[in-house]
Amino acid sequence: MSKDLKWKEYQIETQAIRAGHKRTPESEHSLPIFTTSSYVFDSAEQASLRFTGKEPGNIYSRFTNPTVAAFQDRLALMERGERCLAFASGMAAIMAVGMGLLKAGDHVLCSRSVFGNTVLMFQNYFGKFGVSTDFVNLTDLEAWEAAIKPNTRFLYIETPSNPLIEIADIAALAEIAHRNGSLLVVDNVFCTPVLQLPLTLGADIVVHSATKYIDGQGRCVGGAVIASNEIIEKDIYPYLRTGGATLSPFNAWVFLSGLETLSLRMRAHCDNAFALAQWLEQQPNVEKVHYPGLASHAQHELAKRQQCQFGAVVSFELRGGQEQAWKLIDSTRMLSITANLGDVKTTITHPATTTHGRLTPEQRAQAGIKDNLVRISVGLENLDDIKNDLLNGL
Ligand SMILES: *Cc1c(COP(=O)(O)O)cnc(C)c1O
């Protein structure tokens, strides 16, 4: 059996590799995939104790599975949270936060610059059941303060944002939320716990799409919610058990090995992205580069304080319009033309006609997403090969 080490006392790189695995009597070194839907009890009495929660242990893999539990325990430690619950996708994790915490009559205050489906989730689905949502400019603290209401259940942000890579002040927003009796929810997909720890800055809930950097190689879809014991026990776990958007043990197993290399990969991703952003700034056909590592970025100082590196998504505006942006994208030969991100493979996309194509031109203008904007999720290929691929079109 595994030694009972206090994983809280270890550093994140070590937790990412070793925490969460409860070795079975088979003495396996690598964590197994438990492909079982149900579990067998020693007696009728034990079954009853498990079902009523009086005795801990596995019951049914919709809400208890050892491989999924290992992933949850490891990610909770890495995010400095008390508990983590895994879900079938990032959207299922965000849905769980809403289903667990909101009721008719509640209000959500959401950043304008969040994942498109997150906007639809709050507006179209929670909206149907009597929850209202207002959208606020991510970096404008006065706007958050002004828009908060007595019935605001939580503030919801992504930082850095997509695709303009703006940075929100997590500590300041947590303070605004708490002063008004609300919570702060942070989508930490772009940074991962390697670069940013929202819970240590005052956030109450972190959500993840494990599909991105946690997997890191574009294989599986999954998500997670990390929060205090109280929030998980009272609001999230009962919803997971009833709602059933469960992470499969196979996907949990892939994510566990993804976590093992997360620190290394994030450092390499960030180094490549920083160097590419500096290089892009010097290209005559590039008008503006959005990357928080650059001194030209409006929240450069905040990013330095809040994150330990600047992330691996870079966006830039070309001289010209949509035609020039599409020409650049089409002239690449190696980069993948896809809106996905967080992969070892570098991806390139035109936000105005893909991820943000459903917005009206006015909404796009308000969000600052121009027709000449190109977004790159910088992968781990050799930097010179990435630059050369872009040079064709620059
Ligand atoms: C991809 C993504 C999501 C949704 O995650 P899925 O795993 O695709 O459901 C949520 N937030 C951000 C920032 C994302 O990039």
Angle of the 66-78 helix axis to the 249-260 helix axis, nearest 10: 30
- Say what the pLDDT of residue 1 is: 42
Report CA(51)–ligand 1 centroid distance (Å): 33
Report CA(42)–ligand 1 centroid distance (Å): 41
Ligand 1: residue of 89, 115, 195 to mutate (most ligand atoms within 8 A of CB) is: 115
Q: What would the pLDDT profile of 74-95 be if each residue is shown by its tens digit?
A: 999 999 999 999 999 999 999 9
Task: Tell me which residue has its CA closest to atom 4 in ligand 1.
Answer: 90
Q: What would the pLDDT profile of 186-241 be if each residue is shown by its tens digit?
A: 999 999 999 999 999 999 999 999 999 999 999 999 999 999 999 999 999 999 99
Please give the span between the terminal C-alpha atoms of the chain, in angstroms, as a whole number: 58
Atom of ligand 1 nearest to the CA of 158: 13
Long-range contacts of 58-63 (CB under 8 A, 24+ apart): 61/34, 61/36, 61/37, 61/246, 61/249, 62/240, 62/241, 62/244, 62/246, 63/237, 63/240, 63/241, 63/246
Task: Tell me which residue has its CA closest to atom 7 in ligand 1.
Answer: 90
In the numeric block, which tokens belong to residue 394? 């620059």
The DSSP bridge pattern shows strands 347-349 and 373-377 to be antiparallel
Provide the whole-model pTM: 0.96
- Say what the pLDDT of residue 357 is: 86
Exposure letters 323-343 (e unless 16+ CB within 10 A, then b): ebbeebbeebeebeeebebbb
Report CA(109)–ligand 1 centroid distance (Å): 19
Point out the residues of the chain with pLDDT beneath 50.
1
Residue 381 main-chain phi, psi, to 5 deg: -65, 170
Domains of the chain: 7-260 (3.40.640.10), 262-391 (3.90.1150.10)
Q: Which of 389, 354, 334 is nearest to 163 (CA)?
A: 354
Ligand 1: residue of 117, 157, 192, 356 to mutate (most ligand atoms within 8 A of CB) is: 117
Distance CA 55, CA 38 (A): 16
Report CA(91)–ligand 1 centroid distance (Å): 6
CA 105 to chain centre: 28
Ligand 1: residue of 91, 122, 354 to mutate (most ligand atoms within 8 A of CB) is: 91
Q: Which residues have CB under 6 Å of ligand 1?
A: 89-91, 115, 158, 187, 189, 209, 211-212, 221, 223
In the numeric block, which tokens belong to residue 204? 């109450």
- Say what the pLDDT of residue 2 is: 54
Report CA(128)–ligand 1 centroid distance (Å): 22
- Say what the pLDDT of residue 359 is: 78
The DSSP bridge pattern shows strands 152-158 and 183-187 to be parallel
A 10 A CB-CB count for 52 gives: 8
